[in-house]
Chain A
Amino acid sequence: MKFAALIFANLFRKKVRLALTLGSFAVALFLFAFLAVVRKAFTGGADLANASRLVTINRVSIIQPIPLSYRDKIARIPGVQAVTHDNWFGGVYQDEKNFFPQFAIDPENQRKVYPEFVVPDDQWNNFLKDRQGAIVGARTAKRFGWKIGDRVPIKTTIWGGGAWEFVIDGIYHGKVAQDDETQFWFQWDYFQERVPDRLKGLIGWYTVMLNSPDQALRVAKAIDTEFANSPYETKTDTESAFAASWVKQFGNIEFLIITIGSVVFFTLLLVTGNTMAISVRERTGELAVLKAIGFKDRSVLFFVLAESLAIALFGGVLGLALAFLAIPVLGNALSGMLPNLILSKPMLATGIGFALLVGAASGLLPGIGAMRLRVVNALRRV
Chain B
Amino acid sequence: MVSVNNNGNSSSLIQVRGLNKTYHRADEQIQVLQGLNLDVDKGDFVAFMGPSGSGKTTLLNLLGGLDVPTAGAISVASDEITHMSSGKLTEWRARHVGFVFQTYNLIPVLTAFQNVELPLLLTRLSKSERRQHVETALSIVGLGNRTRHFPRQLSGGQEQRVAIARAIVSDPTFLLCDEPTGDLDRKSADEIMALIEELVAKHGKTVLMVTHDPVVAARAHTVLHLEKGVLVEGSKSRQSVTAGGVV
Contacts and interface: CB of A to CB of B under 8 A. Distances in A.
Contacts of A289: 99, 101, 105, 107
Interface in A269-311: 285-286, 289-297
A349 interface: no
Interface residues of B, number: 27
Contacts of A3: 121
Contacts of B103: 382
A24 to B, nearest CB: 22
Contact of B121 (A2, A9, A292): A2
Given A293-B94, A293-B119, A296-B87, A9 B127 contact: no
Contacts of B93: 292-294
B99 A292 contact: yes
A294 B90 contact: yes
Contacts of A296: 87, 90-91
Interface in A329-382: 375-376, 379-380, 382
B26 interface: no
B182 to A, nearest CB: 12
Contact of A376 (B66, B108, B121, B122): B66
Given A293-B99, A294-B119, A285 B94 contact: no
Contacts of A382: 101, 103, 105
B67, B95, B109, B119, most chain A CB atoms within 10 A: B109
- Chain B binding surface, main DSSP class: helix
Nearest to A289: B105
Chain A interface size, as a band, is: 20 to 34
B90 A297 contact: yes
B56 to A, nearest CB: 13
Interface in A1-45: 2-3, 5-6, 9-10, 12-13
Interface in B69-120: 86-87, 90-91, 93-95, 99, 101, 103, 105, 107-110, 114, 118-119
Contacts of A293: 93-94, 99, 118-119, 122, 166
Contacts of B95: 294
Given A2-B121, A9-B114, A376-B61, A294 B109 contact: no
Interface in A216-244: none
Contacts of B118: 6, 290, 293
Contact of A294 (B57, B108, B110, B122): B122
A294 B98 CA distance: 10
A161 to B, nearest CB: 74
A13 B95 CA distance: 29
Contacts of B61: 376
B99 A2 contact: no
For the complex of A and B, the 3 pairs showing the least CB-CB separation, nearest first, are A294-B94, A9-B109, A289-B105
